Structure 1
Amino acid sequence: MKPLSGALGSTRFVAVAFSVVSQEGGPPRYLCAVTAGSEPTLVLMNWESEKILAKCKLPGTVDRVAFPFQHDRTDVTVSGPHMLRLLQIRHAKGEVTLKTMPAFSGLQEKAEAILDHTWLEAGRGLLGLCVHEGPVHILSADELIVLRTIESAFGPEGDLEEVLPLCIRSFTHGFLLGGSHGYLAVWEEADDEAFASVDDGSEGSRRAPENEYKLAVAVKIREDPDAVCSLDITPSEEHLLLGFGDSAMGVVPMASIYGNEEEQVPINISGNHSAAITGMDMAVHRSLVVTICHRDSSMRLWNWATRTCEIRSKFGGDPPTAVAIHPFGYYLAMAFAEKLRFYHILIKDIRLHKEINLRGVGLLKFTHGGHLLAVTQGKSIYIYSVRTLEKLATLSGHNQEITCLSFDPEDHTLWSTSQDGKLIKWNLATFRNESSHVETGSERLAVSVISPDQATCSIFRNGKQLLQRFSQSDLEYEVELESNVKVVSLYHHHGNSMFLAGTARGGLQIYTSLPYQGKPKFVELALHGMACTAICVSVDGSPV
């Protein structure tokens, strides 16, 4: 991994691309990036030196940038919803500049919504472009004109005529199209016999390069109707990487696309959610992580060791609201609008074990030993026996909705925070309130327990973010963070002073300790576009 923050700053980028790898096999020469905002800018950078060579403002919104595959070309192209432009990289007097060329003749930029474009490897100086209205255009980068328009890119027969191309990528012998309804099309250079010109019929003459492409195959990749909205191909051209409309990703062997039409194309689908993850938990004795998404009403069970999704379950109109996995990794608790359900984790599926009528569950948390389950409902906490699934106690003391639960490593105490600024330490032997702290007008966002008598709490007070350290049930000290971004999740790695904090802006802050005086030092990774609301770490601390 090569961080570029020093060269590019903290600007948000919406498209990036590398130039072609050098003929000697070394690293690419250029990296191009397009900035977001009202005035999008193309930034050209030397990849090895991390030096910005040139910048150029673009005449419209851009979501795709591409370099040609030929080593002797010094061009780069950008495209957006209503724009396609070619820029020339010019070297003069030791300086590098970007020259924006005129619009392509014959391309109705205002009338057509441009979705994607690519340089064609087989055709020298040719571009492929797909638009929302359905056609695929072949363009000349030298003449800046549209050479050919393909109206039915997936074929004229039956339902294929209704398939719209959404993305395009080049490969050695042609180009690939990803389309609506899960379709993929391959266009290849015509064979030698097709090179004879249809205009004069003279032997040995070749038709124009843009007309050398023909439809080789169009195939439905998935039974699900989700569109193929992004694609790429490995350098060896043995496998395709596909992105679908439901946020799933898949890997397809290139050779399988040319198989029997009646055979289903083998595809390895990963199990990404199609919206924000709203719940997450990690097992202790197995390398499993469970996630839920309220919007797509689904659960995913991931193996972090193999980085695969092992189980996917959808729940239709009854989306899950909270989830917890047993430390042993063979048992699952999941809350829904009206029910609390318990599942056995099988090899390829989950099986319902028992359900309890309980509405409005907010949080679920197993003890480290797995013998108890804490369930929140508004301002109350229920403690269930995992062995009998009977309710053992109701913990009452909060005046508003509970925001966080944390057990100490030895399962002697449970700490909880709520929206009214209250922090309570519960004794799990007696199920009694052992101590409580309340700050009116402040928000207690998260708590992480280090030992039965020590914890770190996140509190937001008067527009300032603070971290508090509690010891022997009393507030020992608090420190104010330099950034006033809310810390919404905390995790202490047992056995050392290091802890992690997730922020409302999606950052992950890594602290080596929480000093008694002065500003705490941390390293922050900008990981997510939304709040980092859950952090899980394995027992050995290797994956986070």
Structure 2
Amino acid sequence: MSIAAVAHRHVFGYKGDVNNSIAYLDEQTVIYPVGHNSVLYNTESKLQKFIPVTEKCEAITAMAVSVNKRYIAIAERGEKPLCALYDLHTLRRRKTLSTMETESKDFVCIAFSADAKYILTQTGAPDWMLYYWSWEKAKVMASVKTANLQADRNAALGRAGDAAASANIGSIATLASGLGGGRDGFGSVVYQVSFNPSDNTQLCVIGNGIFKLFRYQEGMLKLFSVQKLEPKNYLSHCWAADDRIIAGTEDGKIMIFEANGELRAELTHSYGPSATPRCISTLLAYSKGFICGGSHGSIAIYDRNEDAPGGPLVAGQQPGSKDMYRKVKELTMHDDNAKVTNMALSPSEDNLVATTETNQLFALMLAGTEVKGEESRFEMFSQPFHHGQITGCDTCIRKPLVVTCSTDRSVRVWNYLDSTSELVKYFPEEAFSVAIHPSGLYILVGFSDKLRLMNLLIDDIRTFREFTIRGCRECRFSNGGQYFAAVHGNTIQIYSTWNFENLGNLKGHNGKVRSLFWTQDDSRIVSAGMDGAIYDWALRDLTGSGGSGIKREGESILKSCNYTCAIATADGRSIFAVGSDKTLKVRKSRSSILMDTLKWLTPTSPLSNRNFSGRMMFVGTANGTIRSMKYPLTNEPGEFQEHQAHSAPITKLRVSFDDQYLFSTSEDGALYVFKISDKEGRGLKRDREIVYADEILVTKTDLEEKNSTMAELKTRVEELKMENEYQLRLKDMNFNEKIKEVTEKFMQEIEALKITTTVLRTDKEKEEVRHEEELGEERERHTRELSELETVHNAKLMAEYERYQELQGRTTELQAQWERQMREMQAAKEKALSELTAHFEARVREKQAEIDQLQSELHNQYLEFTETTKETEQDADTEILEIKHRYEKKLKEEREIGLRLKGENGIMRKKFNTLNSEIDAHKTEIGKMFNEEKKLHGVIKSLEKDIAGLKKEIQERDETIQDKEKRIYDLKKKNQELEKFKFVLDYKIKELKRQIEPREQDIQGMTHQIKEMDVELEHYHKANSNLELTIADLKLKLRAAEKEVAKEHARVKAFAATVKRFKVDLNECVQYIQEPKLLKTHIKNLYQKYCLVAEPNATTSSSSAAVQPSSSITDVQQEYARQREHLERTVASLRRKVTKDQNIHRADNVRIMGENVALIKEINQLRRDLKGTRAREKAAEIALKHTKLVEAESRSHTPNPGTEGVSSNSLRLPSVTSPSPSPPALPRLEQQALPA
């Protein structure tokens, strides 16, 4: 019996909700948190070291690394906030800082001073206290409240619905990026604190509406009085090299403050071509300026402008940011939609690491890149991690692979020996479960609609087969790989891996199956479910039809426990299970009896006992720790070793086939790899050395495409080689020629310079002789001038001495006068002082009298107070005696009631026992109702979604109906107004029609005339088009003739070149005139070259061959002259014809233009006449209205029943025909006339 030792080997993951969660320790080492550990990752060796948290830690909330990279402070959430400090050289804990004075459960941010002697810790809700520590003494130097306590308490009370929610309220401000917090109504929230790098006594605190500066003085933190600004949500800040504070806000503003809190400048963090402002979640200072990170993966580098003016802003001055810092570069990340939460820069400022809210780490090498130049993109720092809960995990035998699936809709394959990510595949929906074949070539993935069997290719995960199993939450391959089991609701289906035949269905569970386990020989399956049942299935013969070879041989049902995991030993005789009742159960000898062995396990604990060796057991807990149990188990609670791993409940545990590695996954998205060894730390003994397979699957299509691509690339490489060699040869030739030219040029220049040097040397010698002569003359002249100046200055000196004597006498007189005035002023001062002394002494005596009077009044009031106090005490004693008698009487009554209640208690105890038996009976019913409740909850959720959708649709339709009704009302109102206006316009239209009819006839005639002119103009256009076609045809003929002429020119040139070559060759033959044999040979060659090529069958002599070319040249010249003359005559006639047509066309255009001008003038005259007619009509209406009003007034004195209706109608008519801006028919008429 022993406990297997477990050591952290590697972890794939990152905990992103930690403030200041990443830092460089040196050029190769980066530290960041994962789960309940801080990981030191070496970028060169890819090795990791781990710093675990304390035992009672609930979560890591903040980190800080000292400036000298010697210490790290880690803030932990627990019953009380705790800050642990570690030595990064030894990885041992140096100090633990904790305070009992706070109600908070965590420190939301921490910071080191520049000399690493002091540390700041900021607590979270509800008190928001800032503590200033001397950490080596573990002493609080000072503390101060940084946020509004009452606002936080009111917000917390307004939201408190349960104890768990209020317990986690301290984690709201754990992100420096400001997620949640004040924007959700929790009042003021602090996001970051820091020291001034050059002054340990100055502190800065920022948050939602908080920008505060403190000074440590006299054992207290005193608040600076800073410039009042509009409240902003400050998310991050840093100290620049010149002791300025750079703060970033949620609305994308970068605020630059002086060390005294005065605003120095302000600029907007805009990103991308659209210059959209982005939220600033993190800031990082470096030697040239600062780096800004924000939402949507935006990172920008700002450099300091050395020419910027200094000094703070004055009243009325706008912050000018362009002169202080300028954006020099925008950096791009792969994850454009994720917010940048933290950044870290290496000590040499060559490398930058950034983290995002999706738990990913990105790295960028800044060294060697031009800051203003080339495009830079971040690359993955180590591996891409999960950023959601990991729901499935499995490992294989033939390869060192682990496969996981997560709620982030991805399936990932990890190599635990190389610590790398082999494959990552994202799917459009979430994967519920995953299993990998023992060969490492296939995986099973359960989705909401189907279970898919996929191939692991070299660079992809490709679906091969689909099974109609919806929402498969658990699937497992058998150890031999020939079968796989998948859960379909409460049924377990078994399939053949090779022919995909359904070999049987295991039915018996009433609830969802949560766990499957194959025994070592694949003859049994152990299943556990939410219904509290564990079944042991024997698979005797799976080749038969109908599943007749499947038998349920063992079962254990405990409805009060929802099982989450069940495993068995190699022979299948013992089964171990964990569930919701916080106990580890074991069943031996295939009996149905389960006994509790460990009662301190947390619920939903995955359990792993690899059946190949059967020598160890590991249990995962809900708080993220892994326990290595002492195995075999006994009836008494056994020993175990607990290892810190995850920060959330563990979801899966797996052990490698050779029992060398343990894998754990959790809801925090991390995958831990542990090395397993015996109690002394030695690796477990292997029966034989395992050689892992390195084969991969490649489809034939992919292989053919790669081969064809390789062949194309090889061909392209060969072509490029040949092309480059050719280009190199050309360049060598060009460069050699250039070198030759430059050498000749420089040699000529050298000769010219030598001549020039000789000439200049001669001139220099002449100039030296001349300058020596001039220098002698100047010396003589200066000697004469010096003697003259001495004489003049001696005379001036005597005059100044006499003036000095005179001024000294005047100074003596002024001194005596000043002393006399001082004595007079001293006497006046003493006199005034005596008068003031007498006056104030009198006032002092008056005040002393007043003090005496007040003291007497105070004594009288004290006597009155003493008397009143005595009377009050006497009244109180009397009242106390009365209350004592009253309560003694009440106590007696209560004792009697107590005796009576004792009797009733006996009766109630009997009833209680009766009710207990009823409760036990009802528990079974509650179990059933619990399952029904779950089903109903699902139905209710779906119905609530439908109701919400329908309510939203009803609301949208109500809004649409209201808009339609409002529109109808407006249209009705507008329609009434238009009917009134229509009546007026109808009357006006009738009047105007009578006036416009004759003019319309004239316009129609003119329109007809314009149409005829348009027809004529169109005819001319067609004629011009025909002429243009004729010209184009002639141009083509001209081009053809020019081509023929060019050919003839080329032929002539070729003939001339032939003659020239012949002359050269003939000249060479003449050289052998004294040697007949050589001359004969060259003459034959000459004949074959120039005579036989042109006429192979010719046998004429060389003299006749020379005559023929001359005659052909004459014929060519004559033909060329004849064609040229013909083409010139043709071109001349065409030019005359085109000129004539252009003149005719120009005359027609002038005539048509004149007619259009006349028509426009006539139209304008008609418009003026119409305008005059309207004015006369308006005047007539006004006169008519006035006349009718006068008649109505005259008739009102002599009323007549017969004329009353007429007068009323006449009075109504002006209102109907009241003038309006302009009738709508008139603009329509003008629009018709304008195009003409």
TM-score (norm 1): 0.82
Structure 1's 482 and 54: CA in aligned 2 closer, same or farther, altered over 3 A?
A: farther
* AA partner of residue 305 (structure 1): L
Deviation at residue 163 of structure 1 after TM alignment:
3.2
Flag the structure with higher helix content. Answer: 2
Distance 2:464 2:142 in 1: 61
Task: Check the 8 A contact 1:62/1:81 in 2, yes or no.
Answer: no
Aligned partner of 1:322 in structure 2 is 433
Q: How does 1:245-394 map to 2 (within 5 A)?
A: 245-255=357-367, 258=370, 263=375, 265-268=377-380, 270-294=383-407, 296-316=408-428, 318-394=429-505
Distance 1:405 1:10 in 2: 33
Change (3 A) 1:12 1:55: farther
Alignment check: 8 A CA contact 1:469 1:475 kept: no
Aligned counterpart in structure 1 of residue 227 of structure 2, from 98, 105, 129: 105
| Alignment match of 2:146 (pick from 38, 50, 59) | 59
Measured in 1, the distance between the counterparts of 2:524 and 2:444 equals 21
Alpha-carbon distance change, 38 to 232 in structure 1, aligned in 2, over 3 angstroms? same
CA deviation string 1:157-186 (max 9, x = no partner): 841243333321122222111133322100
Matched, 1:535 2:584: no
List per-residue Cα deviations over 1:291-349 (Å, max 9, x = no partner): 2223x322222333343333222222x32222112222221111112211111112222
Q: Residue 148 of structure 1 corresponds to which residue in structure 2?
A: 265
User: What is the one-letter code of the residue matched to 1:5?
Assistant: T
Which residue matches 2:554? Answer: 435
Structure 1 residues 65, 229: closer, same or farther in 2, change over 3 A? closer
Q: Note the 1:145-184 alignment, pairs <5 A.
A: 145-150=262-267, 152-154=268-270, 158-184=273-299
Q: Higher mean Cα deviation, 62-71 or 172-181?
A: 62-71
Structure 1 counterpart of 2:339, from 213, 227, 241 = 227
In structure 2, do the counterparts of structure 1 residues 32 and 426 end up closer, same or farther at CA, with 3 Å as the change threshold? farther
Q: Does 1:448 align with 2:563?
A: no
Q: Is the 8 A contact 2:237 2:283 kept in 1?
A: yes
Compute the displacement of 1:35 (Å): 4.2
Stretches of structure 1 that go unaligned for 5 or more consecutive residues are 200-207
C-alpha distance 31-389 of structure 1, shift in aligned 2 (>3 A): farther
Kindly name which structure, 1 or 2, has the bigger radius of gyration based on alpha carbons: 2
Counterpart for residue 204 of structure 1: none
Q: Distance in 1 between matches of 2:616 and 2:506?
A: 30
1:258, 1:374 → 2: CA distance?
A: 57
Residue 457 of structure 1: CA displacement? 0.9
1:319 partner SS = coil
Q: Is the 8 A contact 1:333 1:342 kept in 2?
A: yes
Residue 761 (structure 2) aligns with? none
Counterpart CA distance in 1 for 2:569 and 2:286 is 54
Say if 1:161 and 1:360 are closer, same or farther in 2 by CA, change over 3 A: closer
Q: Structure 1, residues 263-285: CA drift from partner, whole Å, max 9, x if none?
A: 45251264223322222222333
1:378·1:401 contact (CA, 8 Å) conserved in 2?
yes
Work out whether residues 495 and 504 of structure 2, in 8 Å CA contact, stay in contact via their aligned partners in 1: yes
Q: Distance in 2 between matches of 1:380 and 1:98?
A: 69
Aligned length: 514
Distance 1:23 1:209 in 2: 37
CA RMSD of aligned residues (A): 3.6
2:606 aligned counterpart, secondary structure = strand
Correspondence 1:409 to 2:513:
no
**TM-score by structure 2 length?**
0.38
Residue type of the alignment partner of 1:337: S
C-alpha distance in 2 between matches for 1:22 and 1:311? 36
Whole-angstrom distance in 2 between the partners of 1:301 and 1:22: 35
Moved more, 370-379 or 70-79: 70-79
Aligned-partner SS, 2:661:
coil
Aligned to 2:586: 469
- 1:363/1:376 contact within 8 Å kept: yes
Alignment-mate amino acid for residue 117 of structure 1 = H
Match of 1:119?
Answer: 239
Q: Is this contact kept in 1: 2:196–2:202, CA < 8 A?
A: no
Structure number with higher relative contact order (C-alpha < 8 Å, ≥ 6 residues apart): 2
Shift of 1:36: 4.2
Cα pair distance change 1:300/1:74, threshold 3 Å:
farther
Is residue 128 of structure 1 aligned with residue 246 of structure 2? yes
C-alpha distance in 2 between matches for 1:239 and 1:289: 31
Query: Aligned-pair distance for 1:507?
Result: 3.4
Q: Would you say 1:396 and 2:483 are equivalent positions?
A: no
Flag the 1:467–1:16 CA change in 2: closer, same or farther, 3 A: same
**Any idea what SS the aligned residue of 1:362 has?**
coil
Deviation at 1:376, TM superposition (A): 0.4
Shift of 1:496: 5.3
Paired AA for residue 517 in structure 2:
S
1:5 and 2:124 matched: no
Equivalent residue letter for 1:338: D
Give the 3 Å change call, closer, same or farther, for CA 449–515 of structure 1 in structure 2: closer
Q: Distance in 2 between matches of 1:255 and 1:421?
A: 61
How many Å separate the matches in 1 of 2:119 and 2:297? Answer: 32
Partners of 1:526 and 1:103 lie apart in 2 by 46
What whole-Å deviation, never above 9, does each CA across 1:424-460 have from its counterpart, x for those lacking one? Answer: 1122334321211111222222112232222311144
| Counterpart residue identity of residue 280, structure 1 | C
Secondary structure of the residue aligned to 1:374 is strand
Q: Does 2:621 align with 1:509?
A: no
Shift, 1:87, TM fit: 5.2
Contact 2:555 2:592 in 1 (8 A): no
Q: Which runs of 5+ in 2 are unaligned?
A: 1-49, 72-86, 89-115, 148-171, 175-190, 313-319, 541-548, 663-672, 675-1236
Residues 439 and 134 of structure 1, relative CA distance in 2, 3 Å threshold: same
* Structure with greater proportional strand content: 1
**Which deviations, in whole Å up to 9, do the C-alpha atoms of 1:219-259 show, x marking residues without a partner?**
33337433333322233322221223433321111247746
Contact persistence 2:409–2:430 (CA under 8 A): yes
Q: Secondary structure of the equivalent of 1:144? A: coil
Q: Deviation at 1:470?
A: 2.2
Name 1:16's counterpart in structure 2: 63
Counterpart of 2:126 in structure 1 is 38
8 Å CA contact retained: 2:213, 2:223 = yes
User: Do the aligned partners of residues 56 and 198 (structure 1) sit closer, same or farther apart at CA in structure 2, a change above 3 Å counting?
Assistant: closer
Q: Which is further off, 243-252 or 473-482?
A: 473-482
TM-aligned CA distance change 1:348 to 1:443, over 3 Å: same
1:138 pairs with one of 234, 240, 256 = 256
Query: Closer, same or farther in 2 for the Cα pair 1:504/1:22, shift >3 Å?
Result: closer
Q: SS of the residue aligned with 1:351?
A: strand
Equivalent position amino acid for 2:445 in 1: M
The percentage of counterpart residues that share the same residue type is 22
Measure the CA separation in 1 of the matches of 2:517 and 2:402: 18
AA aligned opposite 1:491: S
CA contact (8 A) 2:390 2:651 kept: no
Contact 1:230 1:243 in 2 (8 A): yes
Displacement of 1:363 in angstroms is 0.7
Mapped contact 2:479–2:522 kept (Cα < 8 A): yes
